[in-house]
């Protein structure tokens, strides 16, 4: 009996031990995490095309983006707000990395690529779905005959399916349909979809033509831009990114703007014109499309008025011209300057959009004209001016007007036609271009007729011009006067003969730069003074003995120094000596 009871007790104890060891826990479930927002601080959205010579905050934004790309040779020094050569090269580097044409200027495709790279398709706060913890029912284990292996019904441990589909399937903006699949230029078309900017800018792309349009959030209405008839891909770009595209066909309207008035019987106000906003001004070609300043450009298209067509390069008016060939052709010359945000600015090499507005206000599409040079491709001297007669010892001034090719070093040599050494100017800075005015001075010590030859050199181009001057004798008399210097240039230590009149036998003061010499004697009856170009000069040179002077000493270096004479009768005129 005791044995049976003991066995029963052991059985109960064993069963209790097994039961107490079966502790069940549900699988651990980690709910999905959601990003609450995407930072827009690094998002770069450029609102306009940019090219060489552009200035402003848009250029600064572009440069700040390019600096972050760490291209060779780049750095914060590029952030100037001016689109120069370094910026153009950095743009080419980016275009190569983005797989778009390496033009060096920022067009719509480049702006879209920059935006896509920096904005990651959208910017701002993304709605965060609530995180709902799933509820699981703990299954009750079923025990069978030992070895007491419990069996369970497999619960559906699958991640909960939240009803939050992809928020931005096409980079944040998408198109579902158009109100029509075909329309004429100028016709209003409505686009339906999602992700349109209500307060921002939506750019509608119809092939290579673009239209900026507003939106109510679910649709956009735009006018079909001027572009050749054909079928194009229509898509949207805005702050959220680039949408999908839908095929759209553009048809033409009348090709020539007919300015002949016509009358409507119900119109009591008189004549109307068969053009204006209902006409199409379309540019087909710009020839040549690579040109220098001053080149005549031919624009072909249709819809031009007989007279009063306005040609624009960028936002600047460059010409008001008539058309030829039944309103299909017009010409204009590339100007040297354009009206910019800082006033008139010289045209620099780069890419410029050209468009035409006819006499009734109808606007064309834009084509690109690339400027390769600022000035003429050949060097020329436009004019020379200066005295045709001069007194011996008097200083003459000659002016030379030169048209210099873009990006040139200009060197000018003047042969004065007398015994003096020809004067050669210093090399001009690089990228010198356009109309340059140069001034030269010379003193002829002797009477006679001289031919001056001006020679200008730029690269492999050389041209020259001549000017004739007749030198007469200086008036006689004892008045204090400085007629000429001989020589007019030389190194330190050169003896210069001052030729004039009215010099005293002694006590002449020669003024040279800020210094000079006191008590200098004259020769040849008071008409000549010999003066040696000093090594150092100081205002103390002109102070009479017995007076304290603490003025600094200046070393005579190459340059132009004023030279004149004073004595008890007064002071002479000023001539100039060039220290070499």
pLDDT tens digits, 61-94: 999 999 988 887 778 888 988 988 889 889 988 9
Rounded to whole angstroms, the Cα distance separating 330 from 311 reads 9
The most distant pair of C-alpha atoms in the chain lies apart, rounded to whole Å, by 167
Top-level class of domain 258-373:
mainly beta
pLDDT score recorded for residue 65: 92
End-to-end CA distance of the chain: 138
User: The tokens of 550 are what?
Assistant: 């603490």
Residues 6+ apart with CB under 8 A from 256: 302, 303, 304, 326, 327, 328
Q: What is the pTM of this model?
A: 0.29
Residue that is written with structure tokens 């090269």 in the block = 89
Domains 37-125 and 380-472 fall in the same CATH topology: no
Residue that is written with structure tokens 């008139």 in the block = 344
For the cut 90, the answer to whether the pLDDT of residue 250 exceeds it is no
User: The tokens of 243 are what?
Assistant: 């949408």
Rounded to whole angstroms, the Cα distance separating 383 from 267 reads 60
Domain residue extents for the chain: 37-125, 174-251, 258-373, 380-472, 481-579
For 488-535, what is each residue's pLDDT tens digit?
A: 999 999 999 999 888 998 889 999 988 899 999 999 988 999 999 999
Rounded to whole angstroms, the Cα distance separating 414 from 409 reads 17
Rounded to whole angstroms, the Cα distance separating 516 from 532 reads 10
CB neighbours (10 Å) of residue 196? 24
Report how far apart, in Å, the C-alpha atoms of 572 and of each of 458, 511, 542 are. Answer: 40, 10, 16
For the cut 60, the answer to whether the pLDDT of residue 39 exceeds it is no
Exposed / middle / buried, residue 524 (Cβ in 10 Å: 0-12, 13-18, 19+): exposed
At residue 255 the predicted structure's pLDDT band, cuts being 50, 70 and 90, is very low
Orientation of helix 57-68 relative to helix 108-119, angle to 10°: 60
In this structure, the dihedral spanned by the alpha carbons of residues 239, 240, 246 and 249, taken in order and rounded to 10 degrees, is 0
For 433-478, what is each residue's pLDDT tens digit?
A: 566 778 888 878 788 899 999 998 876 678 889 999 998 875 554 5
User: The tokens of 208 are what?
Assistant: 């290579």
Rounded to whole angstroms, the Cα distance separating 310 from 304 reads 10
DSSP state of 539: G
For 337-358, give the DSSP string: EEEEBTEEEE--SEEEEEEEE-
Q: Are 483 and 546 in contact (CB under 8 A)?
A: no
Top-level class of domain 37-125:
mainly alpha
Which CATH architecture describes the domain 481-579?
Sandwich (2.60)
Q: Are 541 and 555 in contact (CB under 8 A)?
A: no
Per the rule left: phi > 0, alpha: psi between -120 and 50, beta: everything else, 534 is beta
Calculate mean pLDDT across residues 316-338.
88
Report how far apart, in Å, the C-alpha atoms of 442 and of each of 117, 135, 264, 451, 528 are. Answer: 63, 103, 77, 13, 19
Closest CA to 499 of 519, 477, 526, 520: 526
Rounded to whole angstroms, the Cα distance separating 473 from 150 reads 134
Percent of the chain with pLDDT over 90: 18
For 98-141, what is each residue's pLDDT tens digit?
A: 888 888 889 888 998 898 888 754 433 333 344 444 454 555 55
DSSP state of 53: T
List the CATH code of the domain at 380-472. 2.60.40.10
Calculate mean pLDDT across residues 368-372.
79
pLDDT, the chain, mean: 75
Q: Are 279 and 351 in contact (CB under 8 A)?
A: no
Percent of the chain with pLDDT over 70: 71
pLDDT score recorded for residue 342: 59
Highest mean pLDDT among 304-313, 339-348, 565-574: 304-313
Closest CA to 497 of 482, 480, 479: 482
Residues 6+ apart with CB under 8 A from 28: none
For 42-53, what is each residue's pLDDT tens digit?
A: 688 888 889 888
For the cut 60, the answer to whether the pLDDT of residue 41 exceeds it is no
For 206-217, give the DSSP string: ETTEEEEE-B-S
Residue 562's DSSP bridge partners are 576
At residue 151 the predicted structure's pLDDT band, cuts being 50, 70 and 90, is low
Four-way CATH pick for 174-251: 2.40.240.10, 2.60.40.10, 3.40.605.10, 3.40.50.410? 2.60.40.10
Residues 6+ apart with CB under 8 A from 189: 178, 179, 180, 183, 221, 222, 223, 224, 248
């Amino acid at each position: 009996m005791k044995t049976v009871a003991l066995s029963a007790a052991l059985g109960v104890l064993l069963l209790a031990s097994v039961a107490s060891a079966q502790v069940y826990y549900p699988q651990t479930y980690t709910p999905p995490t959601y990003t609450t927002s995407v930072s827009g601080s690094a998002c770069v959205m450029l609102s306009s095309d940019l090219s060489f010579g552009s200035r402003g905050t848009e250029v600064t934004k572009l440069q700040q983006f390019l600096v972050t790309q760490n291209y060779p040779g780049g750095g914060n020094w590029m952030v100037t707000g001016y689109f120069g050569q370094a910026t153009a090269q950095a743009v080419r580097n980016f275009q190569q990395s983005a797989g778009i044409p390496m033009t060096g200027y920022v067009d719509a495709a480049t702006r879209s690529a920059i935006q896509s790279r920096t904005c990651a398709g959208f910017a701002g706060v993304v709605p965060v779905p609530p995180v709902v913890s799933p509820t699981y029912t703990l299954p009750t284990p079923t025990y069978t005959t030992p070895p007491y292996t419990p069996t369970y019904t497999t619960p559906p441990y699958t991640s909960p399916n939240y009803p939050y589909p992809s928020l931005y399937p096409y980079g944040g903006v998408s198109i579902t349909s158009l109100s029509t699949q075909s329309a004429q230029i100028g016709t209003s078309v409505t686009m339906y979809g999602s992700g349109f900017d209500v307060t921002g800018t939506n750019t509608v792309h119809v092939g290579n033509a673009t239209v900026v349009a507003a939106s109510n959030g679910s649709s956009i209405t735009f006018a079909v831009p001027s572009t050749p008839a054909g079928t194009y891909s229509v898509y949207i770009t805005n702050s959220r990114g680039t949408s999908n595209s839908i095929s759209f066909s553009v048809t033409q309207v009348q090709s020539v703007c007919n300015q002949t008035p016509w009358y409507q019987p119900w119109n009591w106000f008189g004549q109307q014109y068969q053009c204006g906003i209902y006409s199409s001004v379309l540019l087909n070609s710009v020839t040549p499309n690579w040109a220098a300043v001053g080149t005549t450009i031919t624009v072909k298209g249709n819809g031009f008025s007989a007279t009063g067509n306005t040609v624009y390069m960028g936002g600047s008016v460059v010409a008001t011209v008539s058309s030829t060939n039944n309103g299909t052709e017009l010409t204009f010359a590339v100007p040297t300057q354009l009206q910019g945000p800082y006033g008139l600015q010289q045209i620099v090499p780069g890419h410029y959009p050209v468009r035409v507005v006819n006499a009734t206000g109808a606007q064309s599409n834009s084509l690109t004209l690339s400027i390769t040079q600022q000035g003429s491709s050949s060097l020329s001297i436009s004019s020379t001016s200066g005295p045709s007669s001069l007194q011996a010892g008097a200083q003459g001034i000659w002016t030379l007007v030169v048209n210099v090719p873009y990006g040139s070093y200009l060197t000018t040599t003047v042969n004065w036609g007398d015994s003096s050494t020809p004067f050669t100017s210093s090399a001009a800075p690089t990228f010198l271009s356009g109309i340059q005015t140069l001034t030269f001075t010379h003193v002829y010590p002797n009477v006679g007729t001289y031919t001056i030859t001006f020679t200008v050199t730029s690269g492999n181009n050389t041209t020259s011009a001549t000017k004739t001057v007749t030198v007469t004798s200086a008036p006689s008399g004892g008045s204090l006067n400085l007629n000429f210097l001989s020589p007019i240039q030389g190194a330190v230590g050169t003896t210069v003969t001052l030729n004039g009149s009215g010099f005293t036998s002694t006590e002449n003061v020669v003024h040279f730069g800020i210094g000079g010499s006191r008590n200098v004697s004259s020769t040849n009856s008071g008409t000549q003074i010999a003066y040696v170009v000093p090594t150092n000069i100081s205002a103390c040179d002109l102070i009479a003995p017995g007076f304290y002077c603490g003025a600094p000493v200046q070393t005579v270096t190459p340059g132009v120094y004023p030279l004149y004479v004073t004595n008890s009768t007064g002071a002479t005129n000023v001539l100039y000596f060039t220290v070499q």
